[in-house]
Amino acid sequence: MRILILGGDGYLGWPTAMRLAARGHDVMVIDNYLRRTLARETSSLPLIDTPDLAERTAIYRSVSGFEIKVRIGDCADPAVMARVFQEFQPEAAVHYAEQPSAPFSMMGFDQAKLTLTNNLGTTFNLIWSVLQHAPGCHIVKLGTLGEYGTPNIDIEEGWIDIEHRGRSDRFLFPRQGASLYHTTKIMDTDLLWFYVRTYGLRVTDLMQGPVYGLDTKEADADPRLIPNFHYDDIFGTVLNRFLVQAVAGIPLTVYGQGGQTRGFLNLEDTLQCVELALKTPAMPGQLRVLNQYTELFSVNELAARVKRVGGTMGMNVRIAQLPNPRKEREEHYYNVRNQGLIDLGLKPHYLTDDVLGRLLARVFRYRAAIDPTRIQPRVRWS
Ligand code: USQ
C-alpha cells in the first residue's frame, strides 16, 4: 500500500513510519518540525536529541534496507499538501500532524491560536487533498480519548443511540474536552464527519489515550532511531514523566487528588492499532471510531506502581501531590469501551512490573541527560 504519514517526525509518527516500511509498504512521511520548534521555544527539549528525518531515514535504510520517502513541508499549507498528494497518490493517510500538547494549547493567545489553526488546518487540507487528488484514500486520524472527557456514563466507541420523546437516532457520543488541544480534536471529528456523510470519505478516527514507552522492534536496531521522548511538563505524557522523575530522584508530580483515570497504552500497541486500522479500512461513507487503549489507570495507581517497581530496583521514589494546574475532575467514573480494536486482532502489551522495570532501566541509561528544571508544571489553565 502507498501510505502517507502526516507528522512523520513525531513520537508516534516516526515509529509508525519504520513499522509500515518494514511491512513492505511504500511509505512517505511529511513534517515541518513544528514540534521540535515549539519544544525549543518552550525549553522542553526531549531526553535524547534525535536526528532529523533525512538522517533518521538514512540510518534506518542502512540498518534495515527499508526506504522511507521524506518531504519537509507544512501540512497546514494547502499547496504543500496538494503537491504531495498529486505526486504520491496515497491509498491511505495516517494523520498525526497536529500540535499534540494540552498544556501548550493553554499557555496564552498565540499558542491557542496556533493549536486551533494548525490542527484544524491540517485536517481540512487533508480532506480536500483526498477529495481532489486521491479519492478512495483511507484517512486514519489520530483523535484522543480526551474528546469524551470524563462523563458519568459509560463511553461508547464514537456513537451512541439516543431515545428522546419516543423516537430514537444515532449520534456522535457527547464530547467535552478539558483543554483547547482536546477541543481541536473534537472539531476535527466533526469536520471529518461532515465530509464523510456528504462526500463519502472513508475515515477511521482512533481515540487514543496517553502513550508510554520508547522501544519498538525497529527503533531498537540502532540507538539513533529512538522516538523523541519528552518528560517535560508541556510535551511529556504522565507515565513517561514519572519514569524520568523516578530515575532522577524527583518526587513524582501527581496533579491534585490523583484520581484522574485515563486509558493508557504501550507505544508498541499504538503501532499495532494503526496497522490493524489500515488493514481493514473504513468503508466509503463510514466514520469508524475506535477507542484506542489497553488499560485504565488513575494517576495515583501509576505513581504507586512506579514507586514500588523503582523501589525493587534500588530507587528511592517519592510521590508529591501538587496543586492541579489543570481544570479537570480528580475523582470520577470512567468506563470506556474498547472492543473494536480487540475484534480487529489487537494483542495488548500490558504494563506488568517486568515491563515497568525495563522502562525504568532504559531511562536510567540516559539519566545524565535529565534536566531537573523541565519537570514542574509551568502552565496553569487559569
Ligand atoms: N498528570 C499528572 N502529573 C503529571 C502530568 C499529568 O498528574 O506530571 C495528569 C493530568 O492532570 C491528566 C493525566 O495525568 O489528568 C494525563 O495527562 P497527560 O499529560 O499524560 O495527558 P494529556 O494532557 O491528556 O495528553 C496526552 C497527549 C495527547 C493525547 C492524550 C490522550 O499529550 O496528545 O491526546 O494524552 S487523553 O489523555 O486520553 O486525552
Share of the chain above pLDDT 70, in %: 100
pLDDT digits (tens, 9 = 90+) for 210-234: 999 999 999 999 999 999 999 999 9
pLDDT digits (tens, 9 = 90+) for 267-291: 999 999 999 999 999 999 999 999 9
Using the mean position of ligand 1's atoms as its centre, give its distance from the Cα of residue 322 in Å: 15
pLDDT digits (tens, 9 = 90+) for 151-195: 999 999 999 999 999 999 999 999 999 999 999 999 999 999 999
What gap in Å lies between CA 5 and CA 27, rounded to an integer?
7
Averaged over 75-103, what is the pLDDT? 98
What gap in Å lies between CA 275 and CA 268, rounded to an integer?
11
Q: Whose CA is nearest to atom 10 of ligand 1?
A: 255
pLDDT at position 301: 98
Averaged over 321-333, what is the pLDDT? 98
Average pLDDT, the chain: 98
In the numeric block, the cell 486514519 is attached to 140
Three-class DSSP category at 237: coil
Which residues are identified as catalytic? 144, 181, 185
Three-class DSSP category at 210: coil
pLDDT at position 32: 98
User: Which ligand 1 atom is the nearest neighbour of the CA of 241?
Assistant: 8
Our measurement of the distance from residue 146's CA atom to the centroid of its chain's CA atoms, rounded to an integer in Å, reads 11
Q: Whose CA is nearest to atom 38 of ligand 1?
A: 209
In contact, 132 and 192? CB cutoff 8 Å? no
In contact, 114 and 251? CB cutoff 8 Å? no
Using the mean position of ligand 1's atoms as its centre, give its distance from the Cα of residue 143 in Å: 14
pLDDT at position 102: 98
Model confidence at 19, in pLDDT bands (50, 70, 90)? very high
Share of the chain above pLDDT 90, in %: 100
Using the mean position of ligand 1's atoms as its centre, give its distance from the Cα of residue 210 in Å: 6
The verdict on the CB of residue 254 being under 6 Å from ligand 1 is yes
The verdict on the CB of residue 145 being under 6 Å from ligand 1 is yes
Using the mean position of ligand 1's atoms as its centre, give its distance from the Cα of residue 88 in Å: 35
Averaged over 318-340, what is the pLDDT? 98
Averaged over 308-336, what is the pLDDT? 98
Picking from 181, 232, 183, the residue whose alpha carbon sits closest to that of residue 42 is: 232
pLDDT at position 291: 98
pLDDT at position 361: 97
In contact, 260 and 279? CB cutoff 8 Å? no
Task: Reduce the secondary structure of 269-298 to three states and give it as a string.
Answer: HHHHHHHHHHHCCCCCCEEEEEEECCEEEE
The C-alpha cell that represents 157 in the structure block: 466507541
Averaged over 58-68, what is the pLDDT? 98
Largest pairwise CA distance in the chain:
64
User: Which ligand 1 atom is the nearest neighbour of the CA of 326?
Assistant: 11
Half-sphere exposure of 338 (CA within 13 A, CB side): 25
The verdict on the CB of residue 250 being under 6 Å from ligand 1 is no
Beta strands in the chain (DSSP E): 2-6, 26-31, 69-72, 92-95, 138-144, 159-164, 167-172, 202-208, 211-212, 252-255, 261-266, 286-292, 295-298, 319-322
